[in-house]
Structure 1
Amino acid sequence: MVIIAVIAQSKLNASLSQAGLAAGIYVIGTLLARLYIGKKLEVFGRKKVLRISIIFYLLTTAAYFYMPSLSFLFLVRLLNGFCYGAASSATNTIVTEYIPFSRRGEGINYYGLSTSLAAAIGPFVGMLLLNYTNFYVIIMISVILIALSTVGSFFLRVENVELSDEEVKIAKSWKLNTFVEKRVALIATIGFIMGLSYSSVLSFLSSYDKVLHLSSAGSFFFVVYALVITVTRPMAGKIFDRYGENSVMLPSYVFLTLGLIMLAFTTSSVELLFAGALVGLGYGTFMSNGQAVSLKLVKNDSSRIGVALSTYFIGLDLGLGVGPYILGIVRNIVDFQQMYLVASVLPVICLVIYMKFYKPAAALKREIIERKLEAFEDNEIE
């Protein structure tokens, strides 16, 4: 994601807008996959979707070795994004079967830690390799990593969900409510706004740190982000399970706001890296716990888990995808400092929406009663 625009310009003489499209069209492919595969996952079977999509993800990644034109690059990026979105939708759903419901928050945070670490370390490694090697070395390393994942997918135990005739009929329908899960619409909308806010960091940090003359510190921003979420994710998951989603969701909005404000007023390396820690506590915490909330909202309907997670990640991906364009327009009007202040308002909006419209209290009470009933029934059996 972070190097393809540079490659498009240097190797295929792409304009700045064409280079931006080369990066962004991958997200479009991912969104299309989440929409379609999310609804068809249980019909096709989780095991089949995982294995076929990851094989094609390997093939479309290897296709980067051959780039005769921009049009071909756009096609490869679109297909590559689609295959990634399909594989991601499958793994997001499959992992839920490994986690007991009473530890759903903790389990999802462990799983989310793996993907967040990859998203933090990947850009750092990609930029580092581009400075010391070349694009083809990076693609070769990517191919090797995906090949290992492909092999792993054939050893992973995957349980398919048996659908009733009515559930199959719904999954094959083309009605809007079969593509998105309305129970997750609120948290997906919040995810969109949070992704929009975080895109200011992903898209403009490398330019901003040059303006501040802090490029060396800027290259370690995502390393600090990764370290913070590594330490805090397991704790956040346990807090989620014990005290409910408010205990982690509300602080996540506050921390992201503080991180972006700190970024706006940064004048030193220490301040820049501290902002990275706050952003990790904010967006990093929200990302996985939003997924746990989505699962909680459809916990009694296993056939809709794939659609629910797809709906949530569509919100996140869409925010990350359109964010650079929207905030780029803002950046043309104001300076970087003011742009980050604008971005810092977005998590506050999320906080207001969440507190106004999300009502977890009744659901939490019902969940506690259900757990007590389950425990009572287990004792009766024993």
Structure 2
Amino acid sequence: MKITIIAGARPNFMKIAPIIEAINLAATNGANISYRLVHTGQHYDKNMSDNFFTQLGIPHPDVNLESGGGSQAEQTANIMVRFEKELLLNPADLVLVVGDVTSTMACSIVAKKLVTKVAHVEAGIRSGDISMPEEVNRVVTDALADYFFTTSEMANDNLSKSGIDNNRIFFVGNTMIDTLLKNESRFQPPPVWETASLTKRNYFVLTLHRPANVDNASNLKELMNEIISSTKGLPVIFPVHPRTERNLKEIGIKAGNLFFVEPLSYLEFNFLVKHAKAVITDSGGITEETTVMGVPCITLRDNTERPETVTTGTNELIGTNPKNIFPAMNKIFLGLWKKGGIPQFWDGKTSERIVSILMTLNSSLQ
């Protein structure tokens, strides 16, 4: 079985790394399985250096399509044109896509046009907000895929309701958690740990990047002021996304307990998350990691494609109204935040299950 694995952005690599490890183990044990790793180049990340790949044991891509830049449409078109050439030169029995970035959707379209089977890892998740580019990517990819590897029962239900046969849906868990659990013992403090004199459970981690929170200067200013005043002087560590950085400069937010830092490595960022009093975010993936590490998570969104982090985990949605921050923070300081639990199959063995299933599907792919 020849599998082409697609990665388009940094989070994708962390999702496919354990899958590749499981494929290599299966091949070592005599299984007829191999892979080719295609980086579409959708996102350029200066931190995705040799050190990043070495730290996490992520293999270097066999090819980089260098499809980054441009509008949504231009980027999608570039990925499709270049991946078509790649797949024609290097045919596969199966194209495996992960997550919900533009590359996930674009490469799924190309594969199906070339009559190649598609497997979607992290299939079936939905926010219900079609204005999000990621939601469009999810819906289109799941409309085309042949096999669906899911992280939750909710995702299974979403797929079933859309008409997908249950025999093509495989509830396996979360590969991001495979990577998290494998590397948890190797987390390391970033420089800000010393410069801000941080101690465990006595600081907050903040991440913001979604348009609803950062594109309007007055709203962002009110949001930041509420966060600063609600944290009672405890340090707030803010790895700043480039999109957010531009707007923060415009409003000139400063506070003695607010520490802006460059984007951190995986091992450094998750060290901060693990030992934080709480995380304040508008991300999706971080809510999964806080759930597994038992860290309170305040999400500044009206919806989430990962509801299990709310129903089972430590995450709470409080919306985008800055006035909702103080009551949530007060619950944390009073020790009233829910303890949460870990969703089913988020146990570090998801990739093993995926590869085992792929091997059973092998005969139907020939």
Q: Tell whether the structures are fold-level matches, with TM greater than 0.5.
A: no
> Normalised by the size of structure 1, how large is the TM-score?
0.25
Q: Which has the higher strand share?
A: 2
Higher-RCO chain (CA-CA 8 Å, sequence separation at least 6) = 1
Q: Could you say which structure has the higher helix fraction? A: 1
Question: TM-score, normalized by length of structure 2?
Answer: 0.26
